[in-house]
Structure 1
Amino acid sequence: MSARARATPLLFLHGNWHGAWCWTEVIAALAGSGRSAVAVDMAGHGLRARRPACLTGRPFDAEALATEVSPVADVDLDQAGDLLVSQIKRVGRGGPVTVIAHSMGGTVLTRAAEQAPEAVAHAVYLSGLMPASDVPALAYLRMPENAGALVQSCVRADPAAIGALRLDLVSGDAAYRRQLLDAFYGDVDRAVAEAAFGLLTPDAPIGIVRGTTTLTRRGWGSVPRTYVTCARDMAVRPALQNKFISDATVAFPDNPTAVAALDSSHSPFLSMPGQVADLIAELG
């Protein structure tokens, strides 16, 4: 671990459909260490989310679910990256920050680290999308290494038509709801998983997963990074996690990816927040 990252502030970024709220227990566990830690919302999510009318309209209109253009359809990777850079600089107050990104948040972290490598002391990907140069995150979700992932088949509507990856969070289909819970929260206490499910945002902007970043040796390639694998992940499968690690190391062999491991589902910040906090404190 570089001296540059030692005792730097910590900034946590969530993945698709989630919000800053998912890091609450991890940040609480870090409080005793005296580290400065904050979670932020990604563009189009959390307090920056906008919900389609079709999910709350009554009587329910299945056709509207499939056709209503998302209110976050204009959000793209450029906006998400710019927002994260501004959040990093605000938290760092002129100094570098250790950024921990989960799932699709990794795509945004990659863009931010390429734009402002001097602001990122350490990039930590928690089962995160860590795309190669000029490859969209969406392409990885369809790769053989991600076979068996449970999220894609839960997306309702054509993302290209509505501008978002839409989940039917008010569905009365018990099997559909169970699949989403298994995808995100397989080892999370049921009551906590249900509470988290109620906080999800239905639309994740398609522009974030379709965007690409050209990686350079002086940009993202210069930033120290660690990939934290989740062995029982049903959203970003272990084989895909390993592909991110190996591809990054091949592309930037003079800055290989360090690896840490958790025996968890996709959301260890809810199933084992103390272990996640201990791991992050050790890394950064």
Structure 2
Amino acid sequence: MPQPVVLVHGAFLGAWAWDAVVAELADRGITATAVDLASRGQSGDLAADAEVVRTAVRAAGTGVVLVGQSYGGMVITEASAGLAEVGHLVYVCAALPDDGDSVSSLMATDPHPTTLGEGIRPDVDGTLATLDPDTARALPGHDVPQDVWDAAVPRMGRHQMGTFGEAATALGWREHPSTYVVTTQDTVFSPDLQRTMAARAGSVVEVESSHFPMLSRPAELAEAIARVAG
């Protein structure tokens, strides 16, 4: 019987971003649940995001395949530490930190640095931010079909800026088997940066996609997850 899957979105997205992947997994007989992270709101941080994920994993059962995209990689790293219900971690073009690493520090090592930061629009107090739609289209979403993109843009939301500087307090990938999905057309986390982080994972899969493979290549991404979930 296939293992249950829990899906964790990255910054500026939400559980909705996984809808097509959830449907593709269902077609393969796999039950998947996507979560909305606390960092989409006024008081969320990495610890709060991790607790949201732990709750979802415990509700899903045992042997859970825990999937994180982009910033979601930090969250699944933190959440999975000491969590017996996790069976496998899947990092999708995601931050895969070592001791002391944050999203910001990992991105600072990218040999092909992104210009995504130019499109981040902080709120007045600087804690929450949104992503300019034109920047999102040009960089993380450059290969998303137009109809999918048109539906996604109104649903993109805010994210707590402070989470980008937070380091995980525990590294779940040291406890659980893991797979890294490298997106080879990514202009946010370059393929070279991803491959460096992927060296910490047990296995690596490559998908020809931008930073939003759940929107541009949902069937291919679902197939990669399904191979882990059985």
Residue in structure 2 matching 1:91, options 60, 74, 80:
60
The equivalent residue for 1:155 is: 120
Q: Can you list the C-alpha shifts for 1:161-192, whole angstroms capped at 9, x where unaligned?
A: 512343345xxxxxxx1x32021211111121
Which residue is equivalent to 1:265? 210
- Map 1:48-127 to 2 at 5 A: 49=41, 72=42, 74-92=43-61, 95-116=62-83, 118-127=84-93
RMSD: 2.0
**Unmatched tracts of structure 2, length 5 or more:** none
Give the whole-Å Cα distance in 2 for the aligned partners of 1:233 and 1:144: 12
Aligned 1:7-46 pairs, distance under 5 A:
7-45=2-40
Distance 2:108 2:175 in 1: 28
Change (3 A) 1:198 1:221: same
Give the Cα separation in 2 of the matches to 1:41 and 1:134.
Answer: 25
SS state at 1:265 partner? coil
1:204 to 1:146, Cα distance in 2 relative to 1, 3 A: farther
**TM-score, normalised with respect to structure 1:** 0.75
Unaligned runs of 5+ in 1: 1-5, 50-71, 170-176, 249-255
Given that 2:65 and 2:228 are in contact with CA atoms closer than 8 Å, whether structure 1 keeps it comes out as no
Structure 1 match to 2:94: 128
Aligned in 2, Cα 1:214/1:258: closer, same or farther, shift over 3 Å?
same
Larger radius of gyration: 1
Question: Is this contact kept in 2: 1:187–1:271, CA < 8 A?
Answer: yes
Secondary structure at the counterpart of residue 260 of structure 1: strand
State the Cα deviation string for residues 144-172 of structure 1 (Å, max 9, x = none): 4341x23211113489x512343345xxx
1:57 corresponding residue in structure 2: none
Q: Distance in 1 between matches of 2:223 and 2:8?
A: 17
- Alpha-carbon distance between aligned partners in 1 of 2:47 and 2:24, rounded to the nearest angstrom: 33
> Are residues 278 and 81 of structure 1, via their aligned partners in 2, closer, same or farther at CA, if it must alter by over 3 Å?
same
Deviation of 1:75 (Å): 1.7
Q: Is the 8 A contact 2:110 2:190 kept in 1?
A: no
SS at match of 1:12: strand
> Would you say 1:180 and 2:136 are equivalent positions?
yes
CA distance in 2, matches of 1:101, 1:127: 8
Tell me if the contact between 1:11 and 1:97 (Cα under 8 Å) persists in the aligned partners.
yes
What CA distance in whole angstroms lies between the structure 1 residues aligned with 2:206 and 2:23?
21
Query: How far apart, in 2, do the equivalents of 1:220 and 1:272 lie?
Result: 25
When residues 222 and 278 of structure 1 are mapped into structure 2, their CA distance, relative to the original with a 3 A threshold, is: same
Q: What's 1:140 paired with?
A: 106
Q: Distance in 1 between matches of 2:144 and 2:68?
A: 19
Distance 1:144 1:31 in 2: 36
Q: Which amino acid aligns with 1:16?
A: A
Aligned-partner SS, 2:66: strand
2:159 aligned with 1:204? yes
User: Could you say if the C-alpha distance between residues 32 and 182 of structure 1 is closer, same or farther in structure 2, counting changes exceeding 3 Å?
Assistant: same
Opposite residue 228 of structure 1, the aligned amino acid is V
* TM-fit CA distance, 1:10: 0.7
Return the alpha-carbon distance in structure 2 between the equivalents of residues 30 and 283 of structure 1.
12
SS at match of 1:220: helix
In structure 2, C-alpha distance between the alignment counterparts of 1:128 and 1:11, rounded to whole Å: 15
Letter of the 1:153 partner, please give it. E
TM-score calculated relative to the size of structure 2: 0.91
